[in-house]
Chain A
Amino acid sequence: MSDWVDICAATAIEPGMAGTVPVEGADDIAVFHTIGGEFYALVNKCPHKAGPLSQGIVHGDSVSCPLHNWKISLKSGEALGDDEGCTPTIPLKVEDQRILLDRSAIIALQAA
């Protein structure tokens, strides 16, 4: 059994945008594609007031939450600037133009 779950083609998410993966029994996962071409996955929930980060404006390697404009690092999930808080990240890799998420991290979200 592979340790990675195939989510979608890398082309399914435009650079500068994000897509969502609902997880039964847990919060949605947001998969980001930066304008620079990197992919990241985070729980789709701002550490501030649980805003859906997938709907924020993506710039550099961060996203601005659509609710109150907190800036969240896509690499670490940490709030940037003077704000404090952290959103869980999910290990992600791109292989053969497919986006794969770490299986155990998803199961951990469901178990939490």
Chain B
Amino acid sequence: MNAQTSFESAISGDQKERLVVIGNGMAGCRAVEEILALSPDRFDITIFGSEPRVNYNRIMLSPVLAGEKTFDEIVINSQEWYDENDISLISGDPVIHIDREACQVVSRSGKIASYDKLLIATGSDPFVIPVPGNDLSGVVTFRDLDDVETMLSAAKNSSKAVVIGGGLLGLEAAHGLSLRGMDVTVLHLMPTLMERQLDEAAGFLLKSELEGRGMTIMTGADTAEILETDNKVSGVRLKDDTVIDADLVVMAVGIRPNGVLAKASGIDVERGILVDDHMVTSDPNILAVGECIRHRGACYGLVAPIWDMCRSLAAGLNETPKAYTGSVTSTKLKVSGVDLFSAGDFSGGEECEDIVMRDASRGIYKRVVVKDNRVVGAVLYGDTQDGNWYFDLLRNEEDISEIREALIFGQAFASGGALADPKAAVAALSDEAEICGCNGVSKGQVVGCINGGAHSLDAVRSQCKASASCGSCTDLVENLLALTLGDEVEQGAKTMCKCTSFGHDDVRRLILEKQLKAIPEVMQELHWSTPDGCSSCRPALNYYLLCAWPGEYVDDQKSRFVNERLHANIQKDGTYSVVPRMWGGITNPRELRAIADVVEKYEARMVKVTGGQRLDIFGIKKEDLPAVWADLNAAGMVSGHAYGKALRTVKTCVGSEWCRFGTQDSTGLGVKLEQMSWGSWMPHKFKMAVSGCPRNCAEATIKDFGVVCVDSGYELHIGGNGGIKVRATDLLIRVETEEEALEHCAAFVQLYREDAWYLERTAPWLERKGLEWIKSQLYDDPATVPALAERFRYSQKFSQDDPWAQRAAGDRADLHSHLGSVPAGPPADGVLKLEPAT
């Protein structure tokens, strides 16, 4: 105790108040700087730090890891600063105890320092996920210079790194290790990178960019354990049993406030150390600042709020109150060559308006969220030049109604006076100015084309190609139409939905031309005006992509209508109906028994014979669906797709096997047609029928594809409908053999799949395109029918996997279960408990 006291007297020689700071990081030192600025001679200052070095800029560790900066370059306060300000720095010796009664702190080595004011700036700890192997050699966090040095030595001696966490820190670590020559895989639990800062569209662009740089990005990746060989990391195993080899594992899943010391001393801590607007804790002599605190319910992990806190802290001590009221934060990713900015709230909402601009050719995505004429959030990717401007507008809550129209184009454009009116801006362009970069069309050419009779967007697109490719100049072309024609602009073909200026045909064509293979990619490349589409375009795009890239595109469940997501038909009471497939409408005792058993076991309230010759079981709860399917599967039945924009049923009559009028084996052909085409997704539902003679008992002439058997062969009919508007089929062709009937059916189905608009049945499609067009598409070139049929068969390879069997085996159990349940209440003891999901 004596030796320690002598140290204490050495640092408190005069009458100044004694300020002790726990933490030599960015927050602690910045607070000291602010205090020195306001009250230079008031305190005798001692700073304890756990790291054996002076104060440095922790944010710049990423560039150090990447080799873009050295440690010396990121030092904020060198030893001279401590000396000049008479600050005693005790580094490499963390405080381990606070004695509030005696107003003293004790360090690990036993040093004691007395205080009048104590400042806690212990920052945060990296969160280490609780999985087996997380303490192995070769597992590091990314928090301080020691971690960086561990990573750098690993990069010298080994080749494979796994970074767990696809947030800001994780991606910066991954980037650094990749530049240091390591083979890097990023594992991210959520489906989108940096989901807290980025929306889906920007997250997708970022993922593509990083993958282009050679990193492997796995989203939805849930780590199960870290594997070892000889006590060292050898890989990571995910919950789905994927194994990724690794010599180095970096944990960068997040941080949590370090309030351990404060809590042990009895100060109020709830997640973080609780502070008031002047950073004073529940003990009036103790202040806290930085990532270790919780202020008005919020914890912060970024630097800007910490600077604000430090100013309020110094002001409070100086009795010149300037309260800290919380911060709006912005984020920039420090990965060289990737420009990314996000700030504020970009989750949208009903009073919020999204202004989206996408420029696919330059890889730009900008989204500004406006509420009550004020900017409330912004996400910028590819061009972050205006990030600070938007951030200023946001923080200052400036009224942007005057510059609303030009806001998205950035500060230069919006502040350009007359140019703030986009129409005026277009009018001011010279005739040589390029309007459409994709097709090299100038303003003069577009105006010439309009004056030549192209009075609609579509007409301009087809005649001079302006805005016909990526569509980013659509606004410019529309403004030119309005300037040139005034009110005479003709509204063109209907767009897919209000999220896009393109119609269905253009979207389908561009998906193929530009090789677009994911929904966010389509939305980016085709300049969607909403961040994630709507309930009209999402299912349509999902179908178009599925049709364009069979076997390659992964179905997006969140873009599926409920029936197709749950593989059953929703009813008005929220229960579901289930229709097992009965090939050609034929069943047997085993199937009927299984259906009867299901009806009793799951208390289905009704069984109904459908118009398509199937049995429909009504009143099944979504939780029971997988068990129902397991029972039906056990009797050999698969999904009947009665719920889908898909091949529904093939209805048949008994044909030549039983009927005295039958000319061909209509049931046999019906079963073959159904086996060929079941499971295929279509623009809309698709029904077929085969009648054994022209009496047409199977009603083949009101089906999408109908076969009427005749003595000489088979009449193939198309485009019938028995729905709201009854339409009899048109005859497509007569063929002689079953094989030909099957081949022509496959070709017709594929033509419909590739050409029709989503939610367009064959009848309106045929009326829109004309029977002659369909015939000419199929038969002008004899190679077409086999080619279409082959494409259909290829796509069927990936769709004839019974979805019921997958779900019965446990796939996507989350879609059929509850999160948990709340029991009867309110309970007698007033405590409401949640029962866990079973």
Q: Which residues 1-42 of A sit at the B interface, judged by CB distance below 8 A? A: 1, 5-8, 11-17, 19-25, 28-29, 31, 34-38
A35 engages B199 (CB within 8 Å): yes
CB-CB under 8 A for A103 and B570, given A19-B814, A35-B532, A60-B530 = no
Q: Which one of B468-476, B579-587, B691-699, B819-827 is at the interface?
A: B819-827
Interface centre among B190, B196, B559, B822 (most CB of A within 10 A): B822
B535 at the interface (CB under 8 A from A): yes
Question: B532 and A59: CB pair below 8 A?
Answer: yes
B722 at the interface (CB under 8 A from A): no
Residue of A16, A36, A51, A106 touching B348 (CB-CB under 8 A): A36
- Answer yes or no: B669 CB below 8 A from chain A CBs: no
B189 part of interface (Cβ distance < 8 Å): yes
How big is the B interface, by class? 35 or more
Q: Mark each residue of chain B from 799 to 838: 1 if its CB lies under 8 Å from any CB of chain A, else 0.
A: 0000000000000001100111111111000111010010
Asked if residues A24 and B825 are in contact (CB atoms below 8 Å), the reply is: yes
B310 at interface by CB-CB < 8 Å: no
**Residue B214 is within 8 A (CB to CB) of chain A in the complex:** no
- Please determine whether B200 and A15 come into contact, CB atoms closer than 8 angstroms: yes
Q: What is the CB-to-nearest-CB distance from B26 to chain A, in angstroms, rounded to a whole number?
A: 24
Chain A contacts of B563 at CB under 8 A? 66
Closest chain-A Cβ to B17's Cβ sits at a distance in Å of 38
Q: Hey, which chain B residues are within 8 Å of A21, CB to CB?
A: 818-822, 834
Q: Which chain A residue lies CB-closest to B191?
A: A15
Q: Are A75 and B350 in contact (CB under 8 A)?
A: yes
Given the complex, which residues of A lie within 8 Å of B825, measured CB to CB? 24-25, 106-107, 110
**A67 vs chain B, min Cβ distance (A):** 7
The CA of A40 and the CA of B831, in the complex, are separated in Å by 24
Contact status B195-A37, CB under 8 Å? yes
Contacts of B824 in A (CB 8 A): 24-25, 110
Minimum distance in angstroms from B271 CB to a CB of chain A? 7
- The reply to whether B822 and A57 form a contact with Cβ atoms under 8 Å apart is no
Given contacts A8-B819, A25-B825, A57-B559, are A66 and B570 in contact (CB under 8 A)?
A: yes
Give the distance to chain B from A12, nearest Cβ to Cβ, in Å: 6
Give, as a whole number of angstroms, the nearest-CB distance from A90 to chain B: 11
Q: Please tell me if the beta carbons of B558 and A17 are within 8 angstroms of each other in the complex.
A: yes
In the complex, whether B43 has a CB less than 8 A from a CB of chain A is: no
* Contact present for B819 and A59 (CB under 8 Å): no
Digit string of B546-576 for contact with A (CB within 8 Å is 1, else 0)? Answer: 0000000000011111110110001010100
How many inter-chain contacts with C-beta < 8 Å in the A-B complex?
153
How far is B530's CA from A71's CA once the two chains are assembled, in angstroms? 16
Do residues B350 and A61 form an inter-chain contact, with CB atoms below 8 A? yes
Given A75-B349, A107-B825, is A8 in contact with B535 using a C-beta cutoff of 8 Å?
A: no
A82 at the interface (CB under 8 A from B): no
Residues of the A chain whose Cβ atoms lie less than 8 Å from the Cβ of B826: 107, 110-111
Residues 268-287 of B, flagged 1 when their CB comes within 8 A of A and 0 if not, give 00010000000000000000
**Contact residues in B for A52 (Cβ distance below 8 Å):** 570, 574
Q: How far is B834's CA from A6's CA once the two chains are assembled, in angstroms?
A: 7
Chain B residues numbered 83-114 whose CB sits less than 8 Å from any CB in chain A: none
State whether B199 touches A36 (Cβ < 8 A): yes
Give bound CA distance, A103 to B826, whole Å. 10
Contact B349 A58, beta carbon cutoff 8 Å: no
Contact digits for A48-76, partner B, Cβ 8 Å, 1 yes 0 no: 01111001111111101011010101011
- Contact for A20 among B350, B570, B572, B819, CB less than 8 A: B819
Is the CB–CB distance between A16 and B347 below 8 Å? Answer: no
Residues of B within 8 A of A67 (CB): 570, 572
Classify the interface of chain B: helix, strand, loop or mixed: loop
A31–B834 CB distance below 8 A: no
Q: Which residues in A have their C-beta under 8 angstroms from that of B350?
A: 61-62, 73, 75-76, 78, 80
Supposing A62-B350, A71-B535 touch, asked if A11 and B558 sit within 8 A by C-beta, the answer is: no
Q: Which residue of B lies closest to A72 (CB)?
A: B350
Chain A proximity of B371: nearest CB distance (Å): 11
A20 x B349 contact (CB < 8 A): no
Residue of B nearest to A62 (CB): B350
B539 on the interface (CB 8 Å rule)?
A: yes
Given A59-B538, A60-B531, A51 and B574 contact (CB-CB distance below 8 Å): yes
Q: Does B346 contact A (CB under 8 A)?
A: yes
CB–CB A96/B819 < 8 A: no
Most buried by A among B191, B347, B538: B347
> Taking the nearest CB of chain A, how far is it from the CB of B670, in angstroms?
32
CA–CA, A15 to B219, complex, Å?
12
B822 A36 Cβ-Cβ under 8 A: no
Residues of B within 8 A of A66 (CB): 561-563, 570
Name the residue in A7, A36, A78, A80 with the highest tally of chain B Cβ atoms < 10 Å from its Cβ.
Answer: A36
Asked if B832 and A5 make an inter-chain contact with CB atoms under 8 angstroms apart, the answer reads yes
Chain B residue nearest to A59 (CB atoms) is B534
Q: Within 8 Å CB of A103, what residues of B?
A: 832
Residues of chain A within 8 A of B570, CB atoms compared: 51-52, 55, 66-67
Contacts of B818 in A (CB 8 A): 19-22, 28
A56 with B572: CB separation less than 8 A:
no
In the complex formed, the residue of A with least CB distance to B499 is A59
**A26 to B191, alpha carbons, bound, how many Å?**
33
Across the two chains, which residue of chain A brings its CB closest to B351?
A75
A111 CB to nearest chain B CB (Å): 7
Whether A58 and B558, one on each chain, are in contact in the complex, defined by CB atoms closer than 8 angstroms, is yes
Cross-chain contact of A5 among B199, B348, B560, B822 (Cβ < 8 A) = B822
A1 in complex: contacting residue of B189, B534, B830, CB < 8 Å: B830
CA distance A28 to B822 in the complex (A): 9
B562 proximity list for chain A (CB < 8 A):
55-57, 66
Is the CB–CB distance between A96 and B535 below 8 Å? no
How far apart sit A69 and B648, CA to CA, in the bound complex (Å)? 23
Decide: A38 and B347 in contact? CB cutoff 8 A. Answer: yes
Q: Are A64 and B192 in contact (CB under 8 A)?
A: no
Contact of B561 among A38, A57, A106 (CB under 8 A): A57
Task: Tell which of A11, A17, A78, A106 touches B832, judged by Cβ atoms closer than 8 Å.
Answer: A106
Select B533's contact among A28, A34, A59, A69, beta carbons within 8 Å.
A59
Contacts of B189 in A (CB 8 A): 11
Q: Which A residue sits closest to B220, measured CB to CB?
A: A14
Q: Are A23's CB and B191's CB within 8 A? A: no
A73 neighbours in B (Cβ, 8 Å): 349-350
Residue interface bits A101-112, CB-to-B below 8 A is 1, else 0: 001001100110
Bound Cα distance from A59 to B565, whole angstroms: 16
Across-interface contacts of A69 in B (CB, < 8 A): 535
Q: Cβ of A36 and Cβ of B572 under 8 Å apart?
A: no
A55/B535 in contact, CB under 8 A = no
Bound complex: CA A22 to CA B562 (Å): 19
| A33 CB to nearest B CB, Å | 10
In the complex, the chain A residue whose C-beta lies closest to that of B824 is: A24
Which A residues contact B (CB, under 8 angstroms)?
A: 1, 5-8, 11-17, 19-25, 28-29, 31, 34-38, 49-52, 55-62, 64, 66-67, 69, 71, 73, 75-76, 78, 80, 95-96, 103, 106-107, 110-111
| CB<8 Å pairs between A and B, sample of 18 | A6-B834, A7-B820, A8-B820, A19-B819, A22-B818, A22-B822, A35-B558, A55-B566, A55-B570, A55-B622, A56-B562, A59-B538, A64-B535, A78-B350, A96-B271, A106-B832, A107-B832, A110-B822
For the A-B complex with A19-B818, A21-B821 known, give 11 more contacts whose Cβ atoms are closer than 8 Å: A8-B819, A13-B819, A17-B558, A22-B821, A55-B622, A57-B538, A57-B559, A66-B561, A66-B563, A76-B350, A107-B825
Q: Closest 7 interchain pairs by CB?
A: A16-B558, A64-B535, A24-B824, A55-B562, A57-B535, A38-B347, A19-B819
Query: Which B residues are within 8 Å of any A CB, using their own CB?
Result: 189-192, 195-196, 199-200, 222, 271, 346-350, 352, 354, 530-535, 538-539, 557-563, 565-566, 570, 572, 574, 622, 814-815, 818-826, 830-832, 834, 837
